[in-house]
């Protein structure tokens, strides 16, 4: 039986209210962990909390404590494009750590980690192709990942223009950097909870709905793994 890690920042209601039976709930440190069997796979879902640091720590737990074979992250994001509308689901083809900058001391451009060839860090191609084959109409996007909630059109325009990103959130780069250290494949499925011109008020209203739509996609993909 394959063992899949699901890393969820805060939107755990999407899986807890699903039709899948919760087999076990436990704590690892301050992290809540939920065990399921979904379509023949052992699924370990962990609630990381908001932010890259917590996401990175939760990723390490999934890999070293539970020995997962792949990690899927689903959750909600802000749109940086006026054609990515509320409750749309996106597949992430690349990640940018847009607030990371060591250009003053290393010979790299802002947002680039020296061990990578450019600022865009790619998740696993096989999993992305599998998801795209199953859901060919879902847009493939570049995700800006940082340390703060981005609220307002002006800042969203700046991130989109400077880093050529389509969505913005706070966890995925932390997941990817740790997963790459262990050669664990990753996949990111994101739902739009606040539009290009929206912000915190839309996020509060649509977070759970957008996350549930994402989880429907995730559960169907698990069947293909």
Q: Tell me the pLDDT tens digit for each residue of 179-225.
A: 999 999 999 999 887 666 666 666 565 566 767 878 888 888 887 77
Residues 6+ apart with CB under 8 A from 93: 122, 123, 128, 140, 141, 142
| Model confidence at 7: pLDDT above 90 | yes
Residue with tokens 């859901």: 135
- pTM score, two decimals? 0.93
**Dist CA 138 CA 96 (whole Å):** 20
Could you say which DSSP state residue 21 is in? P
Alpha carbon of 212 to those of 76, 118, 166, 186: distances in Å?
10, 33, 21, 20
pLDDT in tens, 58-93: 999 999 999 999 999 998 898 899 888 777 899 999
The domain spans of the chain are 3-222
Cα 15 to the center of its chain, rounded Å: 15
pLDDT in tens, 143-171: 999 999 887 788 899 999 999 999 999 99
Among the four given CATH numbers 3.30.300.30, 3.10.580.10, 3.40.50.1580, 3.30.930.10, the one describing domain 3-222: 3.40.50.1580
Residues 6+ apart with CB under 8 A from 84: 90, 139, 141, 166, 167, 192, 195, 196
Alpha carbon of 166 to those of 89, 92, 149: distances in Å?
12, 10, 15
Helix (H) or strand (E) holding 58: helix 52-60
**Dist CA 4 CA 158 (whole Å):** 36
**Dist CA 5 CA 67 (whole Å):** 9
Q: What is the mean pLDDT of residues 33-51?
A: 94
What percentage of residues in the chain have a pLDDT greater than 90? Answer: 67
The 3-state DSSP class for residue 111 equals coil
Helix (H) or strand (E) holding 60: helix 52-60
Would you state the structure tokens that stand for residue 98, as one six-digit string? 């847009």
């Amino acid at each position: 039986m394959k063992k899949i890690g699901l890393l969820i920042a805060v939107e755990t209601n999407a899986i807890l209210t699903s039709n899948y039976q919760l087999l076990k709930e436990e704590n690892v440190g301050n992290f809540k962990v939920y065990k399921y069997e979904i379509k023949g796979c052992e699924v370990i879902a962990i609630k990381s909390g908001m932010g890259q640091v917590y996401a990175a720590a939760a990723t390490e737990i999934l890999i070293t404590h539970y020995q997962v074979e792949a990690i899927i992250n689903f959750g909600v994001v802000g749109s940086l494009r006026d054609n990515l509308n509320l409750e749309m689901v996106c597949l992430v083809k690349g990640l940018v750590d847009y607030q990371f900058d060591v250009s003053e001391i290393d010979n790299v451009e802002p947002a680039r980690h020296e061990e990578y060839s450019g600022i865009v860090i790619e998740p696993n191609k096989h999993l992305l192709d599998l998801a795209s084959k199953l859901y060919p109409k879902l847009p493939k996007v570049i995700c800006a990942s940082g340390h703060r909630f981005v609220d307002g059109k002006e800042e969203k325009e700046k991130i989109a223009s400077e880093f050529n990103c389509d969505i913005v959130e706070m966890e995925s780069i932390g997941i990817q950097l740790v997963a790459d250290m262990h050669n664990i494949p990753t996949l990111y499925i994101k739902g739009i909870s606040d539009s290009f011109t929206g912000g915190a008020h839309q996020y509060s209203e649509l977070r759970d709905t957008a996350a549930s739509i994402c989880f429907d996609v995730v559960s169907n993909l698990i069947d293909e793994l």
